[in-house]
Amino acid sequence: MIEPSWVAWLDMALSTWLGCALVLALGAFVQRATGFGLAVVGAPLLLMLEPRLVPVVLVLFGFTVSLLTLRHYRREVRLSEIGMALAGRLPGNALGAWLLLAAPMVVLEKLIAGSVLFAVAVTLFRLRLPVNRATLFSAGIFSGIFGTVAAIGGPPLVLLMHGFSPDRLRGNLAAFFIVTSLLTLATLALVGRIGAWHLGMAASFAPAVLAGTWLANRIAHRLDRRLLQGASLSLCTLAALGLLL
């Protein structure tokens, strides 16, 4: 049986593509419904299905979501609160790029699993740390490492800023992610980790992400937010533990 040309272009089994589309739709649904990161839900599951999609496709969609978020919360952005974190992101991106080039996949899987478990812990245990230039710079470094390797750059910043008002937190994180997503994409391009295939795959998955967002807009208000977040955290934890085993 001759496969259609678009199936051959996917360079993966159609069943794998459908699984990845479902994961991204689920991640978009959960993020819109709870504010929880698309990458945290998607990274460990996509790594099991198709490792080539991590982190490029997640970074592209993270950038898109951040742009949409900033439209609503741009007045809450304070450059003084994210400037040092942005400075720390530069050496963090460099370290993350080095890991992508030098570390074997088994090490990267463990790092991604660790970053997912860290994200889950940040969500569950809201530790209060001082917010100053040193902690922001350090958070930026870890954000750069996790963001470049797995597109999960948010937890270090959330750990520091969770005491902010919800709108202020969303605005600052959206602005931070817009800048850092561009930095990460530039870093990945410099080390040869972005190709036309990644851009085409992102375009092919866009309807799934939009569908997950649309569905969340329609029914999320009817769901128990804590129950939904608990289910997503459990799924992330199981997926991360699966990478560690």
| Phi, then psi, of 150 in degrees rounded to 5 | -135, 5
Q: What percent of the chain has pLDDT over 70?
A: 96
d(CA 212, CA 140): 30
Residue 208 within any structural domain of the chain: yes
68 or 15: whose pLDDT is higher? 15
| Tens of pLDDT, residues 75-119 | 999 998 899 999 999 999 999 999 999 999 999 999 999 999 999
| Confidence at residue 117, expressed as pLDDT on a 0 to 100 scale | 94
Is 152:46 a contact under the CB 8 Å cutoff? Answer: no
Q: How confident is the model at residue 3 (pLDDT cuts 50, 70, 90)?
A: low
| Tens of pLDDT, residues 201-242 | 999 999 999 999 889 889 987 888 788 888 888 989 999 999
Average of pLDDT values for 146-158? 92
**Is pLDDT at 16 greater than 50 in this prediction?**
yes
Q: How confident is the model at residue 1 (pLDDT cuts 50, 70, 90)?
A: very low
Is 50:20 a contact under the CB 8 Å cutoff? Answer: yes
| Confidence at residue 224, expressed as pLDDT on a 0 to 100 scale | 85
Is 162:36 a contact under the CB 8 Å cutoff? Answer: no
> What is the 3-state secondary structure of the chain?
CCCCHHHHHHCCCHHHHHHHHHHHHHHHHHHHHHCCCHHHHHHHHHHHHCHHHCCHHHHHHHHHHHHHHHHHHHHHCCHHHHHHHHHHHHHHHHHHHHHHHHCCHHHHHHHHHHHHHHHHHHHHCCCCCCCCHHHHHHHHHHHHHHHHHHCCCCHHHHHHHCCCCHHHHHHHHHHHHHHHHHHHHHHHHHCCCCCHHHHHHHHHHHHHHHHHHHHHHHHHHHCCHHHHHHHHHHHHHHHHHHHHC
CA dist list (Å): 53 to 10, 33, 101, 133, 231: 12, 24, 16, 34, 24
Residue 221 within any structural domain of the chain: yes
| Confidence at residue 2, expressed as pLDDT on a 0 to 100 scale | 46
What is the total residue count of the chain?
A: 245
- The per-residue pLDDT of the chain, averaged, comes to 90
Residue 6 within any structural domain of the chain: no
Residue 7 within any structural domain of the chain: no
d(CA 144, CA 168): 22
| Confidence at residue 8, expressed as pLDDT on a 0 to 100 scale | 64
Residue 144 within any structural domain of the chain: yes
| Confidence at residue 65, expressed as pLDDT on a 0 to 100 scale | 84
Closest CA to 158 of 181, 135, 178: 135
Domain that holds residue 215: 13-244
Tally of structural domains, the chain: 1
| Confidence at residue 35, expressed as pLDDT on a 0 to 100 scale | 66
Closest CA to 27 of 184, 166, 242, 231: 231
| Tens of pLDDT, residues 167-207 | 888 889 889 999 999 999 999 999 999 999 999 999 999 99
Residue 91 within any structural domain of the chain: yes
Average of pLDDT values for 9-38? 87
Residue 2 within any structural domain of the chain: no
Is 169:28 a contact under the CB 8 Å cutoff? Answer: no
Range scoring the smallest mean pLDDT among 119-123, 133-137, 142-146 = 119-123
